[in-house]
């Protein structure tokens, strides 16, 4: 069986599939996930009512599975092949459905520990080496999780009063309950990981050099991006201008924030909408303080009415980088969006405190090469009068914990420079991952870097080389698309985004509800089951063309050799199967080639796994089979040349 481009010409681009790569690539949701989670597997399990199996599969590769079920950016959905039919399966929400029944949310972490897939973890041992982790965000805690399970002694140093990094300090409570974060973190700590809060690295007695002297044989930096990018316009330093991340941190810690009845957020990404929607939940009132977090409902209710929150950004409404659901829910809650505006200055009217922002019209954000190059119409000027301006235009790293003697090299982007495969820095015993290496990315990307770094730290300490290999096999599958599958549309979990007049009462109540059993089953049944393949055995084919006739998406074509002659891969296949050399093959006429044999062509991009070809085939040349595969770590007792171990401590 081959993959082919659209069948519009006599000669077609063909690919002979191989088990190592091609069939893996067909399960696009799994390949699209940075940690290789088998989304197709747990979605299928939910569709069949095997909800505990679904949790087992989802948890296998992800130590923050319950959190990702709520706030993951879901690259699996962007890759989902159902999206080429109508819209992707709501994979993330299905994951949350399984987690709430069997995950840490239940108060029982036994499944969390039992279902971890050890095949991708470093070999377990009773190791004496101590590992230091700087930062308790998802990258750092992933390293701690993997190395603790392998048998290392891990200590996490957190500068703040709570663990979790941006999970705790950056994600609003209405999106992610803190008890869910705490349950995931507690499960990791129960592996024997030591957590030190209010313990910033970089201070006397706790520099990276000090940690080495204290016996830590490897250090992982997962400090994240703790600073907000400044907006260099006049008035940006006035009183009443604050940065978005700092605002979210104060809000999530329940600290006091001075705010007025009118707030302007500058930025068009998810963080900007998090800031705007959090500001809405502050309630109204004159400049003064309010307390959010645990007291948000009481405090907001004590305020009269709802705050006036504006959001302005360079991008047009269609180009805004925030997720569509964030924009929709933010506007539903009362955020007034002002697209295509570029801030020119913050004005104070001589008071020393921000009174508003002056904007000019943004005509375009990117040039023809999609590089950031905004163009403005300076004749179009708008003013927005507010009491507080919150800048949410980007994040940056803060490296006050790094000292010159540490010798950790930074990249041209102002991030920590690492080997892209090992995540080893310029210092052999120091590794780094997450946003401090990648820049602003998804939580799941940070988790993936933590897993790779943990494997590299093990290799560094043991003098070994670890290799990730795909293990696979085929198994029979009885599968057919459910009735009326094509009419079932993508559904999102029910939203409880409050209207402006309801904000004070709703406070930080969760906006997104969980799927019901019926909703989860119905959405899961939309999956095209990309792990199930049409398995073709040419020696059984009698060329009746029944499979071609019955295929609803015209993705099967049985053609003679003449119609694909000239393809090197096919010629090599013909040589193996027909015993005719490539040179000999080229000497035959089209009629002679067609008498020799034919080729079954399949357009894999069009196949919906309906199984009608298998049902129609009288000789069972076509059958449905499941391609089962997983990644597995193999470790050899030879040094990895990419991991240098010379470390000098004076």
Contact 324, 352 (CB under 8 A): no
Element (H, E) at 167: helix 166-169
Residue 587 banded pLDDT, cuts 50, 70, 90: confident
Residue 285 banded pLDDT, cuts 50, 70, 90: very low
Element (H, E) at 278: helix 270-280
Bridging pattern class, strands 465-476 and 388-391? unpaired
The residue to which tokens 């010629």 are assigned? 571
- Tokens encoding 115: 């279902």
3-state secondary structure 359-399: EEEEEEEECCCCCEEEEEEEEEEEEEECCEEEECCCEECCC
**Biggest distance spanned by C-alpha atoms of the chain:** 91
Q: In the predicted model, is pLDDT for residue 648 greater than 70?
A: no
Closest by CA to 155, choosing from 214, 200, 195, is 195
Range in 517-531, 589-603, 620-634 the model is least confident about: 589-603
Q: In the predicted model, is pLDDT for residue 381 greater than 90?
A: yes
Q: What is the mean pLDDT of residues 28-54?
A: 96
Rounded Cα–Cα distance for residues 630 and 41 (Å):
11
Residue 562 banded pLDDT, cuts 50, 70, 90: confident
Predicted local distance difference test score (pLDDT) of residue 565: 61
Rounded Cα–Cα distance for residues 415 and 435 (Å):
8
Helices 270-280 and 244-252: crossing angle in degrees, nearest 10, is 50
Closest by CA to 355, choosing from 241, 257, 267, 451, is 241
Predicted local distance difference test score (pLDDT) of residue 482: 66
Predicted local distance difference test score (pLDDT) of residue 226: 86
SS3 (DSSP) at 571: helix
Q: In the predicted model, is pLDDT for residue 552 greater than 50?
A: yes
Predicted local distance difference test score (pLDDT) of residue 2: 45
Contact 548, 612 (CB under 8 A): no
Contact 317, 377 (CB under 8 A): no
Q: In the predicted model, is pLDDT for residue 231 greater than 70?
A: yes
Residue 649 banded pLDDT, cuts 50, 70, 90: low
Q: In the predicted model, is pLDDT for residue 630 greater than 80?
A: yes
- Tokens encoding 133: 């982790």
CA 629, 631, 636, 642 dihedral sign is positive
Helices 178-189 and 138-150: crossing angle in degrees, nearest 10, is 30
Residue 498 banded pLDDT, cuts 50, 70, 90: confident
Q: What is the mean pLDDT of residues 396-423?
A: 93
SS3 (DSSP) at 39: helix
Residue 307 banded pLDDT, cuts 50, 70, 90: low
Closest by CA to 63, choosing from 115, 119, 107, is 115
Contact 222, 137 (CB under 8 A): yes
Q: In the predicted model, is pLDDT for residue 262 greater than 70?
A: yes
Burial code (b: 16+ CB inside 10 Å, e: under 16) for 16-43 equals: ebeeeeebbebbbbbebbbbbbbbbbbb
Q: What is the mean pLDDT of residues 562-590?
A: 72
SS3 (DSSP) at 597: coil
Counting residues of the chain whose pLDDT is more than 90, the rounded percentage is 61
Q: What is the pLDDT of residues 125-166, one digit of tens each?
A: 999 999 999 999 999 999 999 999 999 999 999 999 999 999
Predicted local distance difference test score (pLDDT) of residue 296: 30
Residue 304 banded pLDDT, cuts 50, 70, 90: very low
Identify the DSSP state of 308: E
Closest by CA to 167, choosing from 153, 184, 152, is 184
Q: In the predicted model, is pLDDT for residue 76 greater than 90?
A: yes
Contact 146, 89 (CB under 8 A): no
Q: In the predicted model, is pLDDT for residue 11 greater than 70?
A: no
Contact 2, 14 (CB under 8 A): yes
Q: What is the pLDDT of residues 607-623, one digit of tens each?
A: 888 888 998 999 999 99
Contacts 24+ apart (CB under 8 A), 569-575: 569/14, 569/15, 569/16, 570/2, 570/14, 570/16, 570/599, 573/16
Length of the chain (residues)? 650
Predicted local distance difference test score (pLDDT) of residue 114: 96
Q: In the predicted model, is pLDDT for residue 295 greater than 70?
A: no
Order the strands of the 556-560 sheet from edge to edge.
14-15, 2-4, 598-602, 556-560
Residue 47 banded pLDDT, cuts 50, 70, 90: very high
Contact 468, 192 (CB under 8 A): no
Rounded Cα–Cα distance for residues 227 and 223 (Å):
11
Burial code (b: 16+ CB inside 10 Å, e: under 16) for 97-126 equals: bbbbbbbbbbeebebbeebbbeebbbeeee
Phi, psi for 129 (deg, rounded to 5): -65, 140
Q: In the predicted model, is pLDDT for residue 193 greater than 80?
A: yes
Range in 119-128, 181-190, 418-427, 591-600 the model is least confident about: 591-600
Closest by CA to 110, choosing from 169, 6, 187, is 187
pTM over 0.85: yes
Q: In the predicted model, is pLDDT for residue 256 greater than 70?
A: yes
Give the count of beta carbons closer than 10 Å to the beta carbon of residue 209: 14
Q: What is the pLDDT of residues 432-473, one digit of tens each?
A: 999 999 999 999 999 999 999 999 999 999 999 999 999 999
Predicted local distance difference test score (pLDDT) of residue 282: 67
Contact 150, 122 (CB under 8 A): yes
Q: What is the pLDDT of residues 505-534, one digit of tens each?
A: 777 888 899 999 999 999 999 999 999 988
Identify the DSSP state of 243: E
Predicted local distance difference test score (pLDDT) of residue 566: 62
Q: In the predicted model, is pLDDT for residue 301 greater than 80?
A: no
- Tokens encoding 477: 């599958």
Phi, psi for 418 (deg, rounded to 5): -135, 165
Rounded Cα–Cα distance for residues 630 and 634 (Å):
13
Q: In the predicted model, is pLDDT for residue 20 greater than 80?
A: no
Q: Which residue has the higher pLDDT, 202 or 305?
A: 202
The residue to which tokens 């007291």 are assigned? 295
Rounded Cα–Cα distance for residues 622 and 544 (Å):
12
Contact 342, 362 (CB under 8 A): yes
Rounded Cα–Cα distance for residues 98 and 43 (Å):
9
For residue 337, what are the CA distances in angstroms to 230, 307, 473? 21, 14, 52
Counting residues of the chain whose pLDDT is more than 70, the rounded percentage is 91
Residue 369 banded pLDDT, cuts 50, 70, 90: confident
The residue to which tokens 């040179």 are assigned? 583
Element (H, E) at 473: strand 465-476
Closest by CA to 3, choosing from 642, 610, 600, 628, is 600
In DSSP terms, 288 is beta-bridged to 259
- State CA 38 to chain mean position distance: 14
Rounded Cα–Cα distance for residues 114 and 480 (Å):
32
Q: In the predicted model, is pLDDT for residue 287 greater than 90?
A: no
First to last CA, the chain: 63
The residue to which tokens 């999609």 are assigned? 370
Average pLDDT of every residue of the chain: 87
Predicted local distance difference test score (pLDDT) of residue 603: 87
- Tokens encoding 262: 């009118």
In DSSP terms, 431 is beta-bridged to 220, 424
Rounded Cα–Cα distance for residues 546 and 89 (Å):
31
Q: In the predicted model, is pLDDT for residue 279 greater than 90?
A: no
Predicted local distance difference test score (pLDDT) of residue 641: 87
Helices 324-333 and 270-280: crossing angle in degrees, nearest 10, is 20
């Amino acid at each position: 069986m081959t993959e082919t481009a659209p069948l519009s010409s006599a000669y077609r681009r063909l690919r002979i599939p191989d088990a190592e790569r091609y069939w893996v690539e067909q399960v696009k949701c799994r390949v699209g996930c940075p940690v290789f989670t088998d989304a197709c597997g747990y979605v299928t399990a939910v569709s069949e009512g095997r909800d505990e199996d679904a949790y087992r599969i989802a948890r296998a590769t992800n130590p923050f599975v319950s959190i990702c079920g709520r706030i993951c950016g879901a690259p699996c959905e962007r890759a989902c092949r159902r999206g080429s039919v109508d819209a992707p399966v709501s994979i993330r929400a299905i994951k949350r459905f399984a987690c709430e029944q069997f995950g840490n949310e239940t108060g029982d972490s036994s499944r969390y520990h039992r279902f971890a897939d050890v095949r991708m973890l470093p070999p377990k041992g009773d190791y004496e080496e101590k590992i230091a982790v700087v930062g308790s965000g998802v990258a750092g805690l992933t390293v701690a999780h993997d190395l603790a399970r392998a048998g290392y002694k891990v200590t996490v140093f957190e500068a703040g009063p709570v663990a979790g990094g941006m999970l705790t300090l950056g994600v609003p409570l209405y999106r992610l309950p803190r008890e869910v974060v705490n349950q995931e973190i507690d499960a990791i700590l129960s592996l024997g990981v030591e957590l030190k809060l209010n313990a910033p690295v970089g201070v006397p007695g706790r520099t990276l050099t000090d940690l080495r002297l204290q016996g830590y044989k490897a250090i992982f930096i997962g400090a994240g991006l703790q600073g907000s990018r400044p907006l260099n316009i006049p008035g940006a330093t006035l009183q009443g201008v604050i940065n978005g991340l700092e605002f979210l941190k104060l809000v999530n810690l329940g600290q006091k924030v001075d705010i007025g009845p009118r707030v302007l957020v500058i930025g068009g990404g998810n963080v900007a909408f998090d800031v705007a929607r959090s500001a809405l939940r502050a309630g109204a009132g004159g400049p003064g303080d309010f307390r959010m977090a645990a007291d948000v409902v009481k405090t907001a209710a004590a305020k009269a009415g709802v705050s006036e929150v504006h959001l302005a950004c360079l991008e047009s409404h269609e180009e805004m980088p925030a997720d569509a659901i964030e924009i929709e829910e933010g506007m539903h809650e009362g955020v007034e969006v002002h697209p295509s505006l570029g801030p020119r200055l913050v004005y104070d009217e001589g008071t020393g405190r921000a009174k508003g922002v002056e904007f000019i019209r943004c005509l375009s954000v990117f040039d023809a090469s999609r590089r950031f190059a905004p163009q403005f119409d300076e004749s179009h000027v708008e003013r927005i009068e507010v009491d507080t301006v919150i800048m949410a235009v980007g994040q940056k790293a803060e490296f006050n914990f790094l000292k010159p003697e540490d010798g950790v090299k930074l990249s041209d982007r102002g991030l920590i420079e690492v080997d892209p495969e090992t995540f080893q820095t310029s210092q052999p015993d120091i590794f780094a991952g997450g946003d401090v290496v990648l820049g602003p990315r998804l939580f799941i990307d940070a988790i993936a870097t933590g897993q790779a770094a943990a494997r590299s730290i093990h290799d560094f300490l043991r003098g070994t080389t670890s290799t990730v290999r795909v293990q696979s096999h085929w198994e029979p599958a009885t599968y057919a698309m459910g009735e009326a599958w094509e009419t079932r549309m993508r559904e999102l979990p029910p939203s409880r985004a409050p209207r402006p007049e309801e904000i004070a009462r709703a406070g930080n109540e969760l906006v997104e509800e969980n799927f019901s059993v019926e909703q989860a089953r119905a959405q899961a049944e939309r999956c095209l089951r990309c792990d199930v393949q049409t398995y073709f055995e040419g020696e059984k084919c009698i060329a009746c063309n029944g499979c071609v006739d019955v295929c609803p998406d015209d993705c099967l074509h049985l053609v003679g050799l003449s119609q694909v002659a000239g393809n090197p891969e096919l010629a090599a296949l013909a040589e193996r199967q027909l015993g005719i050399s490539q040179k000999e093959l080229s000497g035959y006429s089209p009629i002679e080639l067609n008498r020799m044999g034919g080729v079954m062509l399949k357009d894999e991009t069009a196949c919906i796994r309906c199984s009608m070809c298998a049902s129609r085939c009288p000789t069972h040349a076509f059958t449905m089979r499941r391609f089962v595969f997983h990644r597995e770590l193999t470790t050899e007792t030879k040094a990895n040349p990419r991991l240098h171990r010379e470390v000098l401590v004076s």
